[in-house]
């Protein structure tokens, strides 16, 4: 093998994060779908669960999880623009947006994909079959799609999308699009003239689901053309920012007076912080009920299992039930670990910013045990 192999799908949420990064870094790679027999035969036994994206390096190393894959390359020394901002405050903010994009936008992404069958279904059927069973008979291909789409529709419900919340999901998503659209007036990327973990986190929902699927893609074109351009920009190896001609390379000042960046942070506080709080509270209660849980295990029947239960919280005034995933705590720890590296002055400034935007709790919400990665799976630390 002479180049990296990315196992993923064109319409897959987290594959988009890795694909965009590899393109921006100009890292040669070949993308293969999980319908490739080698994925089931060679990759799944190593990851211990059927999950994408997975990267196989030229020397045969297997790395699962978009965030871990990006960290792998950042540690080696990026060949293109680093995903890690040089400013310490922006480094923490990059992980805030990474968490929100990866975990906090699942409701609109899944709703706009699976609740508009009249617009989306033919496209989704072709897309899923091409990724999961490209060589099957018509009957086998259709069965593959029915099984996969059935699982995804159940997942949509597990993320809190139901008839009662759908109007709120749609209003919330339009609010986000409008705020992001305003933010992109003067900056080609979330934190400045260079893509960071913030952008790679947000591309996960915004490209494969919300820009590429037929119904939400049309919606984005109509109400947020700058966001659509950002999606295109994120999938190009160069800057792709001709509309910002004359803009000097620069980073956004996170402490500037009330700004479009602050508006986006306030949205995260309103839209996602209540769920994150509920995830932490449930996890701590779950851990308290298992005092003998061995470090290095997930406490679940199978190594590859991800959910420890369900919790109900109030989201935008409505009781909403969601699946609890320790992986979200793993991503929350990245924010807190980056904040812990700030010096006294920087920490004071950052706490003030988080207070201003309603996100101070991000720095204090903690599970009683850390979530770690062992092999390719999440486990509990000591």
| Mean pLDDT on 287-293 | 96
Is the same domain home to 62 and 40? Answer: yes
pLDDT reading at 249 higher than 90: no
Q: How far, in Å, CA of 56 to CA of 54, rounded?
A: 7
pLDDT digit string, tens, across residues 309-333:
999 999 999 999 999 999 999 999 9
Could you tell me if residue 360 is inside a domain? yes
pLDDT digit string, tens, across residues 49-82:
999 999 999 999 999 999 999 999 999 987 888 9
The predicted model scores a pTM of 0.97
150 Cβ contact partners less than 8 Å away, ≥ 6 residues apart: none
* Domain-terminating residue out of 18, 48, 76: 76
Is the same domain home to 113 and 254? Answer: yes
| Mean pLDDT on 246-272 | 92
Q: How far is CA 132 from CA 41, 91, 168, 198, 238, in A?
A: 14, 37, 32, 29, 31
Tell me the CATH number at 114: 1.20.1050.10
At 1, is the pLDDT very low, low, confident or very high (cuts 50, 70, 90)?
A: low
Q: Which of 190, 247, 197, 188 is nearest to 78 (CA)?
A: 197
Cβ proximity of 366 and 336 under 8 Å: yes
* Domain-terminating residue out of 76, 104, 126: 76
Domain hosting residue 204, numbered range: 90-237+247-258
| Mean pLDDT on 296-301 | 96
Cβ proximity of 87 and 192 under 8 Å: no
372 Cβ contact partners less than 8 Å away, ≥ 6 residues apart: 296, 330, 378, 379, 380, 381
Q: Which of 142, 132, 102, 121 is nearest to 213 (CA)?
A: 121
pLDDT digit string, tens, across residues 135-161:
999 999 999 999 999 999 999 999 999
Cβ proximity of 101 and 205 under 8 Å: yes
Is the same domain home to 205 and 352? Answer: no
């Amino acid at each position: 093998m002479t180049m990296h192999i990315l196992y993923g799908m064109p319409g897959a949420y987290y594959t988009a994060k890795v694909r965009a990064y590899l393109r921006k870094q100009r890292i040669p790679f070949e993308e293969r779908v999980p319908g490739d027999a080698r994925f089931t035969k060679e990759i799944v036994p190593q990851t211990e669960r059927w999950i994408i994206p997975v990267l196989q390096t030229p020397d045969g190393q297997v790395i699962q999880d978009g965030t871990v894959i990006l960290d792998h390359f950042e540690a080696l020394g990026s060949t293109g623009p680093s995903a890690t901002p040089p400013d310490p405050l922006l480094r923490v903010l990059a992980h805030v947006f990474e968490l929100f994009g990866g975990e906090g936008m699942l409701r609109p992404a899944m709703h706009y994909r699976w609740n508009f069958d009249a617009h989306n279904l033919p496209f989704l059927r072709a897309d899923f079959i091409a990724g999961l069973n490209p060589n099957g008979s018509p009957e086998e291909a259709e069965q593959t799609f029915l099984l996969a789409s059935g699982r995804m529709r159940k997942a949509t419900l597990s993320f809190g999308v139901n008839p009662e919340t759908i109007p709120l999901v749609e209003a919330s998503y339009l609010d986000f699009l409008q705020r992001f659209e305003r933010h992109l007036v003067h900056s080609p990327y979330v934190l400045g003239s260079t893509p960071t973990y913030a952008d790679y986190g947000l591309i996960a929902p915004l490209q494969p689901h919300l820009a590429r699927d037929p119904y939400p893609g049309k919606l984005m074109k109509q109400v947020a053309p700058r966001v659509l351009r950002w999606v295109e920009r994120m999938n190009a190896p160069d800057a792709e920012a001709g509309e910002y001609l004359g803009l000097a390379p620069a980073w956004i000042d996170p402490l500037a007076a009330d700004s479009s960046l602050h508006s986006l942070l306030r949205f995260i506080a309103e839209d996602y912080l209540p769920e994150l709080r509920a995830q932490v509270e449930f996890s701590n209660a779950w851990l308290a009920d298992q005092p003998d849980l061995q470090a290095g295990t997930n406490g679940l029947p199978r190594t590859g299992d991800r959910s420890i239960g369900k919790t109900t919280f109030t989201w935008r005034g409505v009781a909403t039930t969601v699946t609890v995933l320790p992986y979200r705590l793993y991503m929350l720890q990245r924010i807190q670990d980056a904040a812990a590296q700030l010096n006294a002055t920087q920490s004071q400034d950052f706490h003030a910013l988080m207070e201003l935007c309603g996100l101070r709790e991000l720095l204090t919400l903690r599970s009683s045990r850390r979530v770690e990665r062992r092999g390719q799976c999440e486990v509990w630390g000591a």
